[in-house]
């Protein structure tokens, strides 16, 4: 089930360094939101706070609230492992378990969450997740072969299958296409477009065309200088951000006049 995310005045730290300051944003369910901005402005850092991955980094902490359909992920007593099963993440480099079979890769997240699952249910879940990731037809005859035997684009779709097998509410993607060729990139973009029927998707991208193609809303982050915190500068419908932004910095960034 797709859920909304509401962030209220979030500050994000690495020990004493405030990497991201004062972010408030409302992310709709069943939509695709793109995070854009220059390198080092805190896009990945902020993204990782949305499923409590930030705090696994030593010194990583946050102030403020992240609400998933109204429930604060940072409230006392909330289990971060449960949060990470509700809000899945896909990384820049496809990271399947290389020696594990394709089938077991799809089930890896489910097993990590300690769920026992009967063979027939597992088979059905593997097929459904691989179909959902647009990978089934390419791998259905070699489910017992290692994940490392797939192309980069296939591996990334395998990672997406692993993420959706857990049945999350939200899928976070940090530059999921940056290691992929243009054809695989378009395959992932098509997939993102389908995923938003069922999930809330947040994607970090450096590719302006990609943000324009896949997202409904775009958030532009920026930093005033080295050592300064990243901030959310502007957040709006993607069409508005690209054609008629309110801030000069946004205009400069999306038109490539930057730095
Ligand atoms: N593990 C870490 N420990 C300390 N500081 C970090 C850590 N990871 C990131 N930072 C710092 O936090 C700031 C934001 O980094 P972040 O990786 O979130 O930027 P980004 O917008 O994702 O950049 P890019 O577009 O290059 O991926 C940077 O100043 C970075 O050096
Ligand atoms: Mg990053």
**pLDDT, tens digit, 9 for 90 and up, residues 63-105:** 999 999 999 999 999 999 999 999 999 999 999 999 999 999 9
Residue 56 CA to residue 84 CA, distance in Å, equals: 12
**158-202: pLDDT as tens digits:** 999 999 999 999 999 999 999 888 888 998 999 999 999 999 999
Hey, which residues does 119 pair with through a beta bridge?
none
Residue nearest to atom 24 of ligand 1 (CA): 39
Does a structural domain hold residue 66? yes
For residue 40, how far is its CA from the centre of ligand 1 (angstroms)? 5
44 lines ligand 1 (CB under 6 A): yes
Burial of 200 (0-12, 13-18, 19+ CB in 10 A): buried
Q: What is the pLDDT of residue 239?
A: 98
Percent of the chain with pLDDT over 90: 90
Q: What is the pLDDT of residue 46?
A: 98
Does a structural domain hold residue 230? yes
Does a structural domain hold residue 203? yes
Residue nearest to atom 3 of ligand 1 (CA): 14
Does a structural domain hold residue 192? yes
Please tell me the number of the ligand nearest to residue 229's CA: 1
Rounded to whole angstroms, what are the CA distances from 215 to 27, 94, 102, 125, 196? 12, 21, 29, 28, 10
Does a structural domain hold residue 237? yes
Does a structural domain hold residue 90? yes
- Reported as a pLDDT band with limits 50, 70 and 90, residue 117 is confident
In 10 A of CB 142, how many CB atoms?
Answer: 13
**104-114: pLDDT as tens digits:** 999 998 887 77
Ligand 1 atom having least distance to the Cα of 227: 29
Does a structural domain hold residue 217? yes
| Beta carbons of 43 and 219 less than 8 angstroms apart | no
Residue 79 CA to residue 241 CA, distance in Å, equals: 36
Number of helical H runs and strand E runs in the chain:
10, 10
For residue 191, how far is its CA from the centre of ligand 2 (angstroms)? 21
| Beta carbons of 208 and 252 less than 8 angstroms apart | no
Model confidence at 259: pLDDT above 70:
no
Cα dihedral 53, 241, 159, 54 in deg (nearest 10): -10
Range of the structural domain that residue 86 is part of: 5-98+172-254
Q: Kindly give, in sequence order, each residue whose CB lies less than 8 Å from that of residue 17, ignoring residues fewer than 6 positions away.
A: 227
205 lines ligand 1 (CB under 6 A): no
Q: What is the pLDDT of residue 113?
A: 72
85 lines ligand 1 (CB under 6 A): no
Q: What is the tally of structural domains in the chain?
A: 1
DSSP-derived secondary structure for 84-139: HHHEEEE-SS----TTSBHHHHHHHHHHHTT----HHHHHHHHHHHHHHTT-HHHH
Coil, helix or strand at residue 34: strand
For residue 142, how far is its CA from the centre of ligand 2 (angstroms)? 34
| Beta carbons of 178 and 206 less than 8 angstroms apart | yes
57 lines ligand 1 (CB under 6 A): yes
Burial of 210 (0-12, 13-18, 19+ CB in 10 A): buried
Model confidence at 237: pLDDT above 90:
yes
For residue 204, how far is its CA from the centre of ligand 2 (angstroms)? 7
Does a structural domain hold residue 126? no
Q: What is the pLDDT of residue 165?
A: 95
Mean pLDDT, the chain, rounded, equals: 95
Residue 156 CA to residue 146 CA, distance in Å, equals: 14
In 10 A of CB 98, how many CB atoms?
Answer: 11
- Kind and range of the H or E element at 6? strand 5-14
Q: What is the CATH number of the domain that holds 247?
A: 3.40.50.300
């Amino acid at each position: 089930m797709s859920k909304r995310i509401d962030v209220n005045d979030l500050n994000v730290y690495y020990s004493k360094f405030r990497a991201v300051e004062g972010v408030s944003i409302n992310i709709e369910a069943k939509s695709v939101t793109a995070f854009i901005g220059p390198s080092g402005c805190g896009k990945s850092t902020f993204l990782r706070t949305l499923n409590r991955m930030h705090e696994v980094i030593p010194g990583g902490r946050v102030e403020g609230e992240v609400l998933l359909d109204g429930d604060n992920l940072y409230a006392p007593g909330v289990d971060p492992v449960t949060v990470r099963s509700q809000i899945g993440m896909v990384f820049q480099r496809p990271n399947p378990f290389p020696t594990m079979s394709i089938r077991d890769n799809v089930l890896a997240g489910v097993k990590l969450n300690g769920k026992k699952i009967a063979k027939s249910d597992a088979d059905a879940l593997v097929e459904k997740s691989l179909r959902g990731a647009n990978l089934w037809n390419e791998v259905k005859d070699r489910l017992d072969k290692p994940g490392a035997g797939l192309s980069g684009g296939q591996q990334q779709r395998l990672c997406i299958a692993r993420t959706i097998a857990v049945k999350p509410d939200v899928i976070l993607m940090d530059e999921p296409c940056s290691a992929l060729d243009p054809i695989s990139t378009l395959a992932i973009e098509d997939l993102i477009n389908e995923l938003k029927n069922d999930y809330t998707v947040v994607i970090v991208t450096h590719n302006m065309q990609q943000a324009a193609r896949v997202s409904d809303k775009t958030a532009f982050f920026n930093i005033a200088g080295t050592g300064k915190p990243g901030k959310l500068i502007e957040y709006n419908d993607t069409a508005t951000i690209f054609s008629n932004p309110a801030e000069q910095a946004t205009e400069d960034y999306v038109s490539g006049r930057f730095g």
